[in-house]
């Protein structure tokens, strides 16, 4: 999956999570992870950041 496809998947998941209650700890944690993924997708990454990005993305099961 390319960066653009990942960004699209992350944005769709964020839209879904934003429909959940604002006090949902599940939603707030998942949104923090999604924001971290978007941050890593937007910068030039080194090898360890690439690995972190792949682990975060795999952990979300999107």
Rg (CA), the chain: 12
DSSP, collapsed to helix, strand or coil, labels residue 6 as: helix
Task: Please say if the pLDDT value at position 4 is more than 80.
Answer: yes
pTM above threshold 0.85: no
Task: Please say if the pLDDT value at position 62 is more than 80.
Answer: no
Q: From residue 6, how far is each of 27, 36, 39 by CA, in Å?
A: 19, 13, 12
pLDDT of amino acid 24: 92
Express each pLDDT in 16-34 by its tens digit: 999 999 899 999 999 999 9
Domain range summary for the chain, segments of one domain joined by +: 3-60
Q: How many helices (H) and strands (E) does the chain have?
A: 3, 0
Query: 3-18: string of b/e by CB count within 10 Å (b at 16+)?
Result: eeebeebbeebbeebe
Q: pLDDT-based confidence at 43, cuts 50/70/90?
A: confident
Q: pLDDT-based confidence at 46, cuts 50/70/90?
A: confident
């Amino acid at each position: 999956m390319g960066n653009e496809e990942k960004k699209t998947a992350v944005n769709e998941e964020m839209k879904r999570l934003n429909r959940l209650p604002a006090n949902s700890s599940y939603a707030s944690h998942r949104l923090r992870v999604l924001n971290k993924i978007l941050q890593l997708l937007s910068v030039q990454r080194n090898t360890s950041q690439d690995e972190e990005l792949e682990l975060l993305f795999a952990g979300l099961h999107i």
